């Protein structure tokens, strides 16, 4: 039986309304935390739960909270990262649209734990209609005294505001987000100092993803120890997966971490198999930034073990034969997908979204896009592939923020696993002129021999 936590009430009509939300157990965690627990006790439960950041990095949330500096007389801030922009990811939107109060409840409990008196939800500008849903829910919460002064008659007060972005992927990076919240270009900051010490307006700040914050009330309600029993190993709890691409049932699914990838792709409870009865070619498991894996490596690890939907299992084998859980943006490619065109598409994205601060990323992403466009349109050279790998190496680790890595990893992994397809493009320029050539004549890979 699939375990549901975040979406347990997803079937209930009108859940975005505060009365419906409360009738179904909503805001119980606010009452429990504010009336019976200390802020440190809440943090302790989150630590015990093993909850890891759901935005992509997977860093333990409780530990991140414990890094927050608490100099006397200086305000502290909690900022929710709702900038969801990683291609293939749409889970936060789903959660906020259908259950906005679960995020607000999480913001109240988390702000209490961190000692924040004003908190912000930074939402990507394109989700303006979701912002309106949140504003409405926040107004409802103010009306019944769940936000504002002396929440539920306690001495804890909190103001909560939503701020829209302006359309920039880079603002999902926490220091880019902070810059943007301050009304500037979203150029990421050099770390250290980390936001936990110097964040928004120079004050200590915690930035957490929507899904992370929405999990906190459930942890408070069931206790951290109980939450830690769900999932597998250090991948505790459940995760929202955004499934898209060539599958029969695209959508957002909540899975208990540890679910076999094969079950996720083929079971009718989840993706429902590959569309049009075709066969699986590749998967990008955690948003466009994580390495792509060919069918045989996403279903089984290099050691032949079944691959599971967990932080550890997906990264088994390192980047040579593994990938990452990332944001849970699960993009599925059937045999008809051209991996060269896909990579060109990804590279165009990163070139478009590079903030331009660091030369390796600003220039490198542009070069990669151009070279890949040449290959895809039948103007590639044999030396291009080594050149691409070389550019990747020069970007990776040489930039202020991880966008550089995020741009390099797909390139390196597409070439690592689909080199023959790239070579085919370079050697058969006439055959690849039609952008849909792979649909008409799927490129059949030879068996994986020796992954570089």
Nearest-angstrom CA–CA distance, 341 and 310: 29
Residue 4's contacts (CB-CB under 8 Å, 6 or more residues apart) are: 10, 238, 254
List the x/- string, 268-297, binding to other proteins by CB under 8 A. ----------------x---x---------
What x/- string results for residues 221 through 250 when contact with other proteins is judged by CB under 8 A? Answer: ---------------------xxxxx---x
Neighbouring CB atoms inside 10 A of 216's CB total 31
Q: Compare residues 160 and 259 and give the one whose CB is closer to other proteins.
A: 160
* Residue among 21 and 94 whose Cβ is closer to other proteins: 94
* Cβ(432)–Cβ(425) below 8 Å: yes
Please report whether residue 142 would count as binding other proteins according to CB under 8 A: no
Site pattern 48..77 for other proteins (x: CB under 8 A): ---------------------------x--
Task: Say how many residues touch other proteins, by CB under 8 A.
Answer: 58
Taking CB under 8 A as the criterion, the residue among 128, 143, 145, 306 binding other proteins is 128
Asked if residue 209 binds other proteins (CB under 8 A), the reply is: no
x-marked contacts with other proteins along 379-418 as a string, rule CB under 8 A: ----------------------------------------
- Asked if 205 interacts with other proteins (CB under 8 A), we say no
Question: Does a cis peptide bond (omega within 30 degrees of 0) precede residue 95?
Answer: no
Cα 386 to chain center, whole Å? Answer: 30
Nearer to other proteins by C-beta: 166 or 233?
Answer: 166
Q: Does 184 bind other proteins (CB under 8 A)?
A: yes
| Interaction between residue 421 and other proteins (CB under 8 A) | no
Contact string 348-377 vs other proteins (x = CB under 8 A) = -x--xx-x----------------------
- Residue whose CB is less far from other proteins, 84 or 105: 84
Choice from 39, 50, 88, 322 touching other proteins (CB under 8 A): 88
- Encoding tokens for residue 434? 């039609």
**Whether 429 contacts 382, CB under 8 Å:** no
Backbone angles phi, psi at 205, to 5 degrees: -140, 140
Cα distances from 438 to residues 214, 432, 434, 452, in angstroms, run 41, 8, 9, 25
Q: Which of 26, 87, 106, 404 binds other proteins (CB under 8 A)?
A: 87
Per CB under 8 A, the segment of 166-174, 304-312, 359-367, 412-420 that binds other proteins is: 166-174
167 binds other proteins (CB under 8 A): yes
Of the candidate residues 89, 99, 175, 235, the single one contacting other proteins (CB under 8 A): 89
Only one residue has tokens 């079937």, namely: 11
Q: Is 164 in the site for other proteins (CB under 8 A)?
A: yes
202 vs 397 by CB, closer to other proteins: 202
Among 65, 156, 333, 409, binds other proteins (CB under 8 A): 333
Alpha-carbon distance of 175 to 186, in angstroms, equals 8
CB of 336 to other proteins, least distance (A): 9
**Closest to 108 in 3D by CA, of 39, 57, 40:** 39
Give the distance, in angstroms, between the CA of residue 422 and the centroid of all CA atoms in the same chain.
28
Q: Which stretch binds other proteins (CB under 8 A): 163-171, 209-217, 307-315, 360-368?
A: 163-171
The nearer residue to other proteins, 160 or 215, going by C-beta atoms, is 160
Binding site for other proteins (CB under 8 A): 75, 84-90, 92-93, 118, 124-129, 132-133, 161, 163-169, 180-186, 201, 242-246, 250-252, 284, 288, 329, 331, 333, 337, 341-342, 345-346, 349, 352-353, 355, 435
């Amino acid at each position: 039986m699939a375990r549901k936590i975040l979406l347990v009430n997803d079937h209930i009509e009108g859940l975005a309304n505060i009365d419906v939300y409360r009738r179904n157990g909503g805001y119980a965690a606010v009452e429990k935390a504010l009336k019976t627990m200390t802020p440190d006790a809440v943090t302790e439960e989150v630590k015990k739960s093993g909850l890891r950041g759901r935005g992509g990095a997977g860093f333990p949330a409780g530990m991140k909270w414990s890094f927050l500096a608490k100099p006397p007389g200086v305000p502290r801030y909690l900022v929710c990262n709702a900038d969801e922009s990683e291609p293939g990811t749409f889970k936060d939107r789903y959660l906020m649209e259908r259950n906005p109060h679960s995020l607000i409840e999480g913001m109240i409990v988390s702000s209490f734990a961190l000692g924040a008196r004003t908190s912000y939800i930074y939402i990507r500008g394109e989700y303006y209609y979701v912002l309106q849903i949140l504003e409405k829910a926040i107004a409802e919460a103010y009306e019944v005294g769940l936000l504002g002064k002396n929440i539920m008659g306690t001495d804890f007060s909190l103001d909560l505001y939503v701020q829209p972005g302006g359309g920039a992927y880079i603002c999902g990076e926490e220091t880019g987000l902070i810059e943007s919240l301050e009304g500037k270009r979203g150029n990421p900051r050099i770390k250290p100092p980390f936001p936990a010490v110097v964040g928004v307006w120079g004050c200590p700040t915690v930035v957490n993803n929507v899904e992370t914050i929405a999990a906190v009330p459930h942890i408070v309600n069931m206790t951290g120890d109980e939450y830690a029993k769900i999932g597998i190993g250090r991948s505790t709890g459940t995760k929202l997966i955004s499934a898209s691409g060539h599958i029969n049932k695209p959508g957002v699914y909540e899975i208990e971490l540890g679910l076999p990838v094969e079950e996720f792709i083929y079971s009718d409870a989840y993706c429902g198999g590959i569309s049009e009865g075709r066969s699986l070619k590749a998967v990008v498991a955690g948003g466009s930034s994580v390495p792509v894996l060919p069918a045989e490596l996403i279903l089984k690890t290099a050691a032949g073990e079944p691959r599971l939907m967990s932080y550890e299992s997906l990264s088994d084998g390192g980047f040579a034969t593994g990938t990452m859980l990332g944001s849970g943006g699960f993009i599925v490619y059937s045999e008809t997908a051209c991996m060269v065109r896909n990579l060109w598409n990804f590279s165009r994205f990163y070139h478009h979204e590079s903030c331009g601060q660091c030369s390796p990323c600003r220039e490198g992403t542009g070069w990669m896009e151009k070279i890949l466009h040449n290959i895809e349109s039948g103007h590639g050279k044999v030396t291009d592939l080594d050149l691409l790998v070389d550019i990747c190496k020069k970007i990776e680790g040489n930039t202020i923020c991880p966008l550089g890595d995020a741009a390099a990893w797909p390139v390196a992994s597409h070439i690592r696993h689909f080199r023959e397809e790239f070579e085919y493009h370079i050697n058969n320029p006439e055959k690849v002129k039609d952008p849909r050539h792979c649909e008409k004549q799927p490129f059949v890979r030879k068996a994986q021999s020796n992954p570089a």
